[in-house]
Amino acid sequence: MYDLVIIGGGPGGLTAGIYAQRAGLKTVLIEKEFLGGQIAVSDVIENYPGFPTISGPGLMEKFEAHARGLGLEIRFDTVLSVVSDGRVKLLKTTEGELAAKTVIVSTGAKPKRLDVPGERELTGKGVSYCATCDGPFFRNKEVMVVGGGDTAVKEAIYLSKLASKVHIVHRRDKFRAEKVLVDKMENTPNMVFHKGCVLREIKSGGGTILGGGIVTGAVLEELTADDASIGKKSAAEILYEKETLKEVAVEGVFIFVGINPTTDFVDVEKDDGGFIKTNQNMETSVPGVYAIGDCRVTPLRQVSTAVGDGAIAAHRASVYIESLG
Amino acid sequence: MYDLVIIGGGPGGLTAGIYAQRAGLKTVLIEKEFLGGQIAVSDVIENYPGFPTISGPGLMEKFEAHARGLGLEIRFDTVLSVVSDGRVKLLKTTEGELAAKTVIVSTGAKPKRLDVPGERELTGKGVSYCATCDGPFFRNKEVMVVGGGDTAVKEAIYLSKLASKVHIVHRRDKFRAEKVLVDKMENTPNMVFHKGCVLREIKSGGGTILGGGIVTGAVLEELTADDASIGKKSAAEILYEKETLKEVAVEGVFIFVGINPTTDFVDVEKDDGGFIKTNQNMETSVPGVYAIGDCRVTPLRQVSTAVGDGAIAAHRASVYIESLG
């Protein structure tokens, strides 16, 4: 029986591991893919205090070394379900079963798809959700970035150093990203702005999607003032006859339009988006189950905040275990 | 008019500064003593992820360099009052006045006194609240540490490397500190444990306090099972005739029994201890005024958590300023 199982090895999970080890809890961290989570596929991070600039993987290696240095057990496996049997939490994984007194869910969140024609079929063939992973394939080629938040703008800037030209498509007139990022992007010479536009289709190879091949272009629709609602129309409602459609020749399309949490496997209270609800103690609706970082309802999703969450959850788990006697 | 005034330059305040600069807010951080706060007087910190072991001042220098590198304005001054005039916050300082759209309070918390005879008079003459600051004065001498939490145990371990012997006095049988710290302390050879004891008086020079001089000893009272309530008695109730009193010859007394927040200057909702109440957005009862780190009601007071708080507060301040239009 473990004192604590941490599900997910991003910055929050690794921090919880550091605190749990220091608190003397018998702990295992279970990660299904690779340590570091979304930040491990980020080019650069400049707002984790203490490191003015560092690569995502570089920072996560430091977190991992810190946690392993304290003796944290890390296992690669997938948790399929968590059931709370009062004082004991039972976890089913691909490899077997585990029992623990407490569980910290730090499974993060995954990129959202737009669900436009071509997107799914061409993923990995020109459609990407990770500039750091796939950017280098588009050296000296034209690419498109879809989105207006921090991630979209950050990744557009990153891609501008590799691609010959970056087209950025955003539904609104104003970017939601941090001002420092927007300023930087606007001063990037090889950036083309398509504001008030939405992506309608991704074209490939011989002009048809079913023919396979790789990305050759993207169809955008320009929204007019009356079209405010159009941004929410589904792909099925695309009006090809509209004069507001235009095709841009690009070989890569990078989509950064939000995230979905990975929380299906655990039955605790969540919001409509599937994000786990917690109080300031990171406690969920089930005693002994905590949620931290990107997978919970939180005002901000950053390494800094995941770290704070992880410290609190491990501390509260320790207090809870003592209360069990 | 500033967008944001950050009051206090500890880890939370510096993080808020980093995020505010990146968000393009016109910001000033006001610090009344020295940057880094309580952590800057800590010998070593081993639970801020990314730095397995680093000195408190060393880590805070990195935070400062990070914030200054982004152009954060830092001013040394004392804020005397904050008044919210609806959309504008007016701050009086020793040096003058300031106006801002938002304020982040990150003033931290200060050590509590025991208020036993000798304590106040002998502060700086053998009584201390900071082992890193004063420990080196007691090389090869006997010292006493009072308290049972993380700070007390951590500082006792630190002092054991300097002092010939460390007496640790704790009211209860069990230490509240992290297990890893307690284990470490219990394996320290020159540590003497006085569990179930309270400090009643600190003796000096010629045996009388009024005579001045330096610390020569400390009077402890051993609590019996029936004495559970005695720990809460005031100094005035000391029973010198009790047989349970003993004097220990020490030249230094280090007191780590809790903290008081520095929040008198701002009129927002607080708990009985003076800690500022916030929601998960770090919002206080006054719109546009945020509180972060040790000075707020929070489940844990760590660099890790102050950093998370600071990121959130700066982000929320930015959102609030935009909402002002």
More confident residue, B261 or B158: B261
- Residue contact B304–A15, C-beta within 8 A: yes
B239 shares its domain with B292? no
Domain that holds residue A130: 113-255
**What is the pLDDT at residue A228?**
46
Q: Residue B264, SS3?
A: coil
Annotated active-site residue A43? The verdict is no
Mean pLDDT of B279-304: 96
How far is it, in rounded angstroms, from Cα B325 to Cα B322? 5
Say yes or no: B35 contacts chain A, CB-CB below 8 A.
no
**What is the pLDDT at residue B284?**
98
Say yes or no: A106 contacts chain B, CB-CB below 8 A.
no
Catalytic residue among B133, B183, B264, B271: B133
**What is the pLDDT at residue A131?**
83
More confident residue, B135 or A279: A279
- Residue contact B49–A307, C-beta within 8 A: yes
Question: Within 10 Å of residue B121's Cβ, how many Cβ atoms?
Answer: 16
Mean pLDDT of A1-21: 97
Task: Determine if residue A128 is left, alpha or beta; phi over 0 gives left, psi from -120 to 50 gives alpha, anything else beta.
Answer: beta
Say yes or no: A2 contacts chain B, CB-CB below 8 A.
no
Q: Which residue of B has its CA nearest to A292?
A: B308
Annotated active-site residue B183? The verdict is no
Q: Is the ipTM of this complex over 0.90?
A: no
Taking the CA of residue A320 and the nearest CA in chain B, the distance in Å comes to: 13
- Residue contact A49–B302, C-beta within 8 A: no
Instruction: From B204, B221, B255, give the residue that closes a domain.
Output: B255
**What is the pLDDT at residue A86?**
84
**What is the pLDDT at residue B323?**
78
Confidence tier at A244 by pLDDT (50, 70, 90): confident
pLDDT at A322 over 60: yes
pLDDT, tens digit, 9 for 90 and up, residues A157-201? 989 988 999 999 999 989 999 888 899 899 999 999 999 999 999
Mean pLDDT of B21-36: 94
pLDDT, tens digit, 9 for 90 and up, residues B162-179? 899 999 999 998 999 988
* Lowest mean pLDDT across A123-132, A232-241, B18-27, B88-97: A232-241
A307 shares its domain with A207? no
Say yes or no: A62 contacts chain B, CB-CB below 8 A.
yes
**What is the pLDDT at residue B239?**
43
Say yes or no: B290 contacts chain A, CB-CB below 8 A.
no
Q: Which residues partner with B128 through β-bridges? A: B254
pLDDT, tens digit, 9 for 90 and up, residues B82-92? 999 888 999 99
A91 shares its domain with A130? no
A318 shares its domain with A186? no
**What is the pLDDT at residue B242?**
56
Confidence tier at B135 by pLDDT (50, 70, 90): confident
**What is the pLDDT at residue B161?**
86
Q: What is the CATH number of the domain that holds A92?
A: 3.50.50.60
- Residue contact B280–A299, C-beta within 8 A: yes
By Cβ distance, the residue of A14, A52, A299 closest to B66 is A52
Give B181's contacts in chain A (Cβ within 8 Å): 22
Give A302's contacts in chain B (Cβ within 8 Å): 311
Share of chain B above pLDDT 90, in %: 71
Annotated active-site residue A133? The verdict is yes
pLDDT at A226 over 60: no
Label each residue of chain A as H, E or C: CEEEEEECCCHHHHHHHHHHHHCCCCEEEEECCCCCHHHHHCCCECCECCECCECHHHHHHHHHHHHHHCCCEEEECCEEEEEEECCEEEEEECCCEEEEEEEEECCCEEECCCCCCCCCCCECCCEECCHHHHHHHHCCCEEEEECCCHHHHHHHHHHHCCCCEEEEEECCCCCCCCHHHHHHHHCCCCEEEEECEEEEEEEECCCCCCCCCCEEEEEEEECCHHHHHHHHCCHHHCCCCCCCEEEECCCEEEECCCEEECCCCECCCECCCCCECCCCCCECCCCCEEECHHHECCCCCCHHHHHHHHHHHHHHHHHHHHHHC
CA-based radius of gyration for chain A: 22
By Cβ distance, the residue of B18, B300, B306 closest to A315 is B300
B167 shares its domain with B134? yes
Share of chain A above pLDDT 70, in %: 91
pLDDT at A241 over 60: no
Say yes or no: B309 contacts chain A, CB-CB below 8 A.
yes
**What is the pLDDT at residue A323?**
79
**What is the pLDDT at residue B211?**
47
Confidence tier at A325 by pLDDT (50, 70, 90): low
Q: Which residues partner with A197 through β-bridges? A: A222
B228 shares its domain with B264? no
pLDDT at A211 over 90: no
**What is the pLDDT at residue A144?**
98
pLDDT at B132 over 60: yes
A263 shares its domain with A251? no
More confident residue, B238 or B104: B104
Give A306's contacts in chain B (Cβ within 8 Å): 308
**What is the pLDDT at residue B45?**
87
Say yes or no: B302 contacts chain A, CB-CB below 8 A.
yes
pLDDT, tens digit, 9 for 90 and up, residues B52-83? 999 999 999 999 999 999 999 999 999 999 99
pLDDT, tens digit, 9 for 90 and up, residues B199-223? 999 999 854 444 457 899 999 999 8
Instruction: From B194, B222, B255, give the residue that closes a domain.
Output: B255
Name the H helices within B200-291.
Answer: none
Taking the CA of residue B63 and the nearest CA in chain A, the distance in Å comes to: 5
Question: Within 10 Å of residue B13's Cβ, how many Cβ atoms?
Answer: 34
- Residue contact A49–B62, C-beta within 8 A: yes
Instruction: From B213, B236, B255, give the residue that closes a domain.
Output: B255
Say yes or no: B246 contacts chain A, CB-CB below 8 A.
no
Q: B283, B307, B315, B321: best mutation site toward chain A, by most A Cβ within 10 Å?
A: B307
pLDDT, tens digit, 9 for 90 and up, residues A20-55? 998 889 999 999 999 999 888 777 888 999 999 999
A245 shares its domain with A164? yes
A117 shares its domain with A249? yes
Confidence tier at B225 by pLDDT (50, 70, 90): low
B155 shares its domain with B84? no
Across chain A, mean pLDDT equals 90
More confident residue, B232 or B192: B192
- Residue contact A23–B299, C-beta within 8 A: no
Q: How many domains does chain B have?
A: 2
B119 shares its domain with B245? yes
Q: Which residue of A has its CA nearest to B293?
A: A308
Could you give the dihedral angle defined by the CA atoms of residues A86, A90, A91 and A97, in that order, rounded to the nearest 10 degrees?
A: 180
pLDDT, tens digit, 9 for 90 and up, residues B297-323? 999 989 999 999 999 999 999 889 977
Confidence tier at A242 by pLDDT (50, 70, 90): low
By Cβ distance, the residue of A23, A66, A179 closest to B24 is A179
By Cβ distance, the residue of B23, B63, B312 closest to A180 is B23
pLDDT, tens digit, 9 for 90 and up, residues A77-126? 999 999 998 889 999 999 999 999 999 999 999 889 999 999 999 988 89
Question: Which helix (H) or strand (E) is B22 found in, with range?
Answer: helix B11-22
Cβ proximity of A150 and A170 under 8 Å: no
Q: Which residues partner with B107 through β-bridges? A: none
Q: Residue B63, SS3?
A: helix
Say yes or no: B30 contacts chain A, CB-CB below 8 A.
no
B136 shares its domain with B250? yes
